[in-house]
Amino acid sequence: MSPVGLPYFHSVTLDPDRCVGCTTCIKQCPSEAIRVRKGKARIIAERCIDCGECIRTCPHGAKKAVSDSLSALGDFRLKVAMPAPALFSQFEESISIDRILGGLLALGFDEVFEVAEAAELVTAATKGLMEGRMAGTPDAQPRPLVSSACPAVVKLVQVRYPSLIPNLVPLLPPMEVAARYVKEVLHPGESGIGVFFISPCAGKVTAARAPLGYEKSAVDAVIGLKDIYLPLRAALGKAGKKPISHAGGAGLAWAMSEGESKALGERRSISVDGIANVIGVLEALENGKLKGIQYIEALACPAGCVGGPLTVENPYISRSRLGNRAISLMPTATSRSLGCLGSLAWDNPILPRSSRLLDPDMLRAMIMLEEIEHLVGQLPGLDCGSCGSPTCQSLAEDVVRGNALETDCIFRLRETVRELAGRLLALEELKPPGLDTE
Amino acid sequence: MKYLYTVRGDDFARAGKASTEFKHVLSQLGIDPAVIKHSSVAMYEAEINMVIHAGGGVAEADLSPERVLITMRDRGPGIPDIDLAMTEGYSTAPEWIRELGFGAGMGLPNMRRNADELKVESVVGEGTTVTILIRLPTAGEGK
């Protein structure tokens, strides 16, 4: 089932010095990808979907995304900053988008290109797809289409809802479209161009390094929004007065829930945000419950990308700000037309990769399942997490997979100790026949 | 290998739990995604029917390398005319259920579309048993 030779790259990692081995993250992880072992949280690479839920919930700040730093600017001749529209939601509305972009230039970037502009291109291509007039895509694509803009959702579908892979919109996400536009249209054939995406989430870091649906990303580095926030704030004062923003309101609104579907103008759509809610909607879709729905905009973070794990502001404050910015703009980019980039279709299909598979041999898997069922019956069912696995069910799976011991359960351990003590007492009662007087 | 699930008739919010749990089992076994989808849709429809019409029941899912066999048994009112019930759009669901988006009379026809074989046995006043058979494309190998 797994693609040959591909390591399971994921960008969420642990800072072992900060991790105290509590069980907060293992309980919050929607793909049950974390275990506490030897007092530290370990991420199971092939299960992590990079949603960043653990980054958001770790009380000790021990989870982070591997991203690049501003020092990477020195590696390139011409540095282009590509801010996700979520960046503008992190600043008060009194600070204009032009000023924020100017701040990026003051930080050492040579040019800026707003990903919101590329989002408009993706909207147009998606409309074409919905109306069945895009070449090179499967004719009978099932409905509803599921947006592929959120990389965590794409990974979730791949590992947990593989039957829904045919529903995914087979188009490049705005980040990638923007990066290709910069390199192929604005600077064709030039060398030394460095494209820096400013990201609200860990998922986009992964999408830039190990993308799904395309071979290699045109993004050269990803800087976490919260890493650039303070330097950028400090640079605002040095920002020029020149108007440099091109993006329209529709593209800007992609960073918040309902933005995508409103831009599409499809009323028979569902907008869902927050990974647990996304799971609920995909579950309903797989059960055949969503008849008549044409489009699903699914975003892993609360309120959409504005609530990304690498943002600094409250998701709902951010959404409100971004909404206000979007309505004060023209709906579409005004000052230039972005028509010259080729097809936005995926380069290659996404293959299923079940993270739940017990064994490739079905009979062997069936035996393991029976062992799991038996073991679950012996566990207390409290899902306390003390064993380091998120639930009793997952501990049973870990034991049967050979990754944990039954006595990792403190209740099972206590029972074992009690049994042992009983046997010791019984042994103590036995006396050699010579001493066993009446 | 058999799995038994109790479908509660008094809790609409939990309707669909049995099919979700069985789906988890199928994905652990590496069953083909298309088969998982057919099985989920058919079992989910049957489960919803049980909750709406029959006050719950028992779902039994039996799995072998060749097929998935799902048997849904209830002690509900029974179906007087099975052929009529299999007609698309025919429904006896109460208004409030329709307002929730269910009871459009697509349940049994949808089960038939997703199953390789569907058997509906019913005795009025005693209950209904729906048997859904779905064949697995390749036996043994985990594709």
Instruction: Give A271-328 as a 3 state SS string.
Output: EEECHHHHHHHHHHHHCCCCCCCCEEEEECCCCCHHHCCCCCCCHHHHHHHHHHHHHC
Backbone dihedral angles phi then psi of residue B57, each to the nearest 5 degrees: 170, -155
3 state DSSP class of A205: helix
pLDDT at B94: 77
Residues of B with CB under 8 A from a CB of A: 1, 16, 19-20, 23-25, 27-31, 33-34, 36-37, 40-41, 44-45, 63, 65, 101, 106, 110, 114, 139-143
Domains and CATH numbers, chain B: 2-135 (3.30.565.10)
From first to last of the 438 residues of chain A, give the pLDDT tens digit: 334 335 678 899 999 999 999 999 999 999 999 999 999 999 999 999 999 999 999 999 999 999 999 999 999 999 999 999 999 999 999 999 999 999 999 999 999 999 999 999 999 999 988 887 655 555 578 899 999 999 999 999 999 999 999 999 999 999 999 999 999 999 999 999 999 999 999 999 999 998 999 989 999 999 999 999 999 999 999 998 888 998 999 999 999 999 999 999 999 999 999 999 999 999 999 998 888 899 999 999 999 999 999 999 999 999 999 999 999 987 776 545 566 777 899 989 999 888 889 999 999 999 999 999 999 999 999 999 999 999 999 999 999 999 999 999 999 999 999 999 999 999 988 888 887 776
**ipTM computed for the complex:** 0.80
Nearest-angstrom CA–CA distance, A186 and A197:
16
Q: Do B27 and A160 touch (CB under 8 A)?
A: yes
Are A286 and B45 an interchain contact pair (Cβ–Cβ within 8 Å)? no
Contact A1, A354 (CB under 8 A): yes
pLDDT (0 to 100) of residue B11? 84
Residue A436: per-residue pLDDT = 73
Place of tokens 């329209």: A248
Contacts of B58 (CB under 8 A, 6+ apart): B4, B5, B6, B7, B72, B73, B74
- Read off the pLDDT of each residue in B113-120 and give the average, rounded to a whole number: 94
What span, in angstroms and rounded, lies between the C-alpha atoms of A144 and A269? 8
Distance, CA of A296 to CA of A305 (rounded, Å): 16
Is residue A122 within a helix (H) or strand (E), and if so which, with residue range? Answer: helix A115-130
Task: Report the alpha-carbon distance of residue B94 to residue A80 in Å, rounded.
Answer: 61
Within chain A, all domains assigned CATH 3.30.70.20 are found at: 12-64
The pLDDT of residue A316 is: 97
Q: Is position B98 annotated as part of the catalytic site?
A: yes
Q: Which residues contact B13 (CB under 8 A, 6 or more apart)?
A: none
Question: A366 and B63 in contact by Cβ < 8 A?
Answer: yes
Instruction: Tell me where in chain A the CATH 1.10.15.40 domain(s) lie.
Output: 362-429
Q: Nearest-CA distance from A356 to chain B in Å?
A: 5
Q: Note if B110 is an active site residue.
A: no
* Catalytic residue (choose from B67, B98, B112, B113): B98
Please give, rounded to a whole number of angstroms, the shortest distance from the CA of B140 to a CA of chain A.
Answer: 6
If you measure CA to CA, which chain A residue comes closest to B16?
A: A287
Q: Which residues, 6+ apart, have CB-to-CB distance to A188 below 8 Å?
A: none
pLDDT at A7: 62
Q: Tell me which architecture the domain covering A12-64 has in CATH.
A: 2-Layer Sandwich (3.30)
Task: Tell me the two tokens of residue A217.
Answer: 């990303």
pLDDT in tens, B36-83: 999 999 999 999 989 988 999 999 999 998 999 999 999 999 998 888
Spell out the CATH class of A362-429: mainly alpha
Model confidence pLDDT, tens digit, residues A108-130: 999 999 999 999 999 999 998 88
**Which candidate in B20, B37, B44 is best for mutational testing of the A interface (most A CBs within 10 A)?**
B37
C-beta separation of A112 from A87 below 8 A:
no
Tell me the nearest-neighbour CA distance from B143 into chain A, angstroms: 7
Residue in A185, A255, A172 with CA at minimum distance from that of residue A215: A172
| Beta bridge partner(s), residue A325 | none
The structure tokens 């009379």 sit at B105
Annotate A367-392 with b (16+ C-beta within 10 A) or e (fewer).
ebbebbeebbeebeeeeebebbbbbb
pLDDT at A438: 67
